[in-house]
Structure 1
Amino acid sequence: MTITSQTLGWAGVDTPDGRFTAIFDEDGVVYASGWTDDPAYLHNLVAPSLRGDALEDRDGREVIAAVEAYYAGDLDAPSRIRVRQTSGPFLTAAWAALRQVPAGPPVTYTELAELAGNPAAIRGAASCCARNAAALFVPCHRVVRIGGALGGFRYGLDVKQSLIDREVAAAAA
């Protein structure tokens, strides 16, 4: 689906990991999000076919409430918000699989490839995380290398470690 005349909204909120901003449509569907105060940066992460033609500051009540709920301990809150990303079949399947990974101990790229239906696509699983525009709502921070090394994270390894620590502690409680 190509969107040619849609205006996407953005809103932000302060979190313990820094300013979090999300881009969403009029129905509250998230297109991009992450720990930045620059909506233009996030807008550039949206696939061109979905980007629309304008970006404006909006309320974003449900989207921001999900982020606040996450930081208040409802680690599943972001999974209840719809997300729209587009790519090829494997990345689409991997993003969907990633949304099913529960908070707690992270999975490996190998495990994500298996969950996405192609156990041999380990590099594809890494690409899924690297190309994910909707951080937190598609929880790419929940994927690590075999052995537990963090791998990469668009918003810094300190944020990724903070998220993992929060989720592992909650799962252990």
Structure 2
Amino acid sequence: MTVTLYKWTLDRYHAAIEAGVFEDQAVELLRGDIVVMAPEREPHACYSSEGAEYFRSLLGDRAAIRETKPITLPDDSEPVPDIAIVQPPLRRYLSHHPAPDEIFWLVEYAQTSLTKDLGLKKDVYAEAGIREYWVSDLKNARLTVFRNLSNGTYQTELTLTEGTLAPLAFPDITITVERLFS
């Protein structure tokens, strides 16, 4: 017996959202598959909100910060990163979600989703051309940074538990690693 999976397009996914099909369930679209998002526990909600506030304080009006909002990527993907640092102003996204060329970098906070964030989501983001992607591992208090895209793959992976870091898009900004998970 052959198993055939139904692949969603962005248009069909958006039509289903408009029809209220997913209103009782948090989902995201990854490579045409609808993926149920894990419920957000208190530490995840707290640290991702604090992280977004920290980025806002450092970046001011140089970037807009979107928290737990969709981004639209090629290959029928519309993930919902915890934090997307995007081109301002936020009103530019009234008619579309940010696309790769409007995204400076993405941050995921992982409490129960570490495997997905370091695997499938990393690959989807790299293939879409997202220049930089960070995963804040809340259980192990470490930040994994993916950078230096080449042929749809991140060439550099840094794992940090302390110190400072400057995002590629804003090399003059200094981010204290510990502030993202402590």
- Shared fold, TM over 0.5: no
By relative contact order (CA 8 Å, sep 6+), the higher-ranking structure is 1
More helix by share: 1
Structure (1 or 2) with the greater strand fraction: 2
TM-score (normalised: structure 1): 0.30
